[in-house]
């Protein structure tokens, strides 16, 4: 998960964060995953090796809760409904449980790649 990011600069600037926070909130509401009871980390693509490994490293109870949230969201999707007001995920409950694990796994994968690409200069 590398790339250029301006997150720290935006968070440090009251002007930028004040200007971009309503846009970010509107984007999250438009995405609609909270209306299905999902967290942000539940909608990440599982096709990459890093995310697959991070999901495997989750504690059992967190993994079970993740699967349950996905099954409930799938049921809402099949019935063409959304969660009731009390079942909709609140912004304060939308915690990033998988992102720290993804960062850790990405660092390990990068370290492994660097180690595998070490050039040997023996005579």
Query: pLDDT of 62-115, one tens digit each?
Result: 999 999 999 999 999 999 999 898 889 999 999 999 999 999 999 999 999 888
**Helix residue ranges per DSSP H, 35-98:** 49-56, 60-78
Query: Which residues 6+ apart lie within 8 Å of 105 measured at CB?
Result: 50, 53, 54, 57
Instruction: Give pLDDT tens digits for 2-53.
Output: 567 787 888 888 888 888 889 988 988 899 899 999 999 999 988 899 999 9
Letter string b/e over residues 74-91, b meaning 16 or more CB atoms within 10 A of that residue's CB? eebeeeeebbeeeeebee
């Amino acid at each position: 998960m590398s790339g250029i990011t301006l997150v720290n600069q935006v968070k440090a600037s009251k002007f930028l964060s004040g200007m971009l926070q309503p846009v970010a909130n509107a984007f999250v509401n438009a995405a609609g995953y909270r209306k299905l009871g999902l967290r942000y980390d539940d909608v990440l693509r599982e096709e990459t090796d890093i995310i697959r490994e991070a999901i495997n490293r989750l504690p059992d109870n967190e993994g079970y809760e993740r699967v349950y949230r996905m099954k409930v969201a799938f049921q809402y999707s099949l019935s063409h409904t959304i969660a009731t007001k009390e079942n909709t995920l609140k912004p304060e409950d939308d915690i990033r449980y998988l992102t720290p694990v993804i960062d850790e796994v990405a660092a390990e994968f990068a370290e492994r790649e660097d180690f595998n690409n070490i050039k040997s200069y023996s005579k």
